[in-house]
Amino acid sequence: MTADTAYHGEMGRQFALQATNSAYNAHTDRPAMLRLAGDVSGLRVLDLGCGAGHYSAELLRRGAGHVVGVEGSESLLRAAQERLEDRAVLHHHDLEAPLSFLADESFDLAVMALVYHHIDARGQLLAELRRVLRPGGTLLVSTTHPTSDWTYFGGSYFAGERVELPFGDGFVISYWRMTLEQFLGELLGAGFVLEELTEPRATQEARLVDLRRYDKTHREPHFLAVRLRRP
């Protein structure tokens, strides 16, 4: 039995609020992923683990032609529906299961923002992404930085274990701690080609939101983001 990776109920509501303007989500990961996306004018975009719809909304603002969001949490999906209204097609779906409702080679760009490390069935998910992306299509993936996890949790860098991180009002986020070798190895092993890797630092706007976290991202790597191509 795979883990339930979605942020349900009140946890989802709190995450949606935090992601709107937090130093890490809004001002570190999101700008990096959008930069990696480049020109999205007219593209068909798949937003996996779309959360409260922040990435989808920005991609649409930048000219994406059609956006499909997939999210396992009903509370986050409601937040996405409020944010996106009828501008995107949203699906309630557990990413541990195949994306059987999506057609082969139907997307130009797929985005997985801070989702991949939560998933148990990552091999299956990558195979599904390769199926639904057109040849030459782009995959963007961000994750927690292996060095950041090692610094925070300690122990062996090569532990490769599920860890838990306190979040919000008494909640816990569970995800897989991975080495850089494992993270990139899984993506390349699934047949994707690496085009760019970045270690995002918070934008200047984050200084006004949370100066401590802004400074931290400029001293220590916190996230890792990659742009890959489907041959």
Contact criterion met (CB below 8 Å) for 62 and 71: no
What's the confidence (pLDDT) of residue 24?
A: 92
What's the confidence (pLDDT) of residue 4?
A: 60
Cα angle 104, 106, 112 (rounded to 5 degrees) comes to 100
User: Is 0.85 topped by the overall pTM?
Assistant: yes
Neighbours of 181 (CB within 10 A): 10
User: Greatest CA separation found in the chain?
Assistant: 47
Contact criterion met (CB below 8 Å) for 14 and 170: no
Q: Which residues contact 62 (CB under 8 A, 6 or more apart)?
A: 34, 37, 40, 41
Q: Which residues contact 151 (CB under 8 A, 6 or more apart)?
A: 220
Question: Domains in the chain, ordered, with CATH?
Answer: 9-148+182-229 (3.40.50.150)
Q: How far apart are CA 216 and CA 181, in angstroms?
A: 24
Nearest Cα residue to 223 out of 201, 194, 195, 192: 201
Phi and psi based region of residue 138 (left: phi greater than 0; alpha: psi -120 to 50; beta: remaining)? beta
What's the confidence (pLDDT) of residue 13?
A: 80
The residue count for the chain: 231
What's the confidence (pLDDT) of residue 46?
A: 98
Distances (CA, A) of 197 to 32, 94, 98, 223: 10, 27, 27, 11
What's the confidence (pLDDT) of residue 2?
A: 42
Q: Which residues contact 174 (CB under 8 A, 6 or more apart)?
A: 3, 5, 118, 162, 163, 164, 165
**pLDDT (tens place) for every residue of the chain, 231 residues total:** 344 667 888 887 888 878 899 999 999 999 999 999 999 999 999 999 999 999 999 999 999 999 999 999 999 999 999 999 999 999 999 999 999 999 999 999 999 999 999 999 999 999 999 999 999 999 999 999 999 999 999 999 999 999 999 988 888 889 999 999 999 999 999 999 999 999 999 999 999 999 999 999 999 999 999 999 999
The gap from C-alpha 81 to its chain's centroid, in whole angstroms, comes to 18
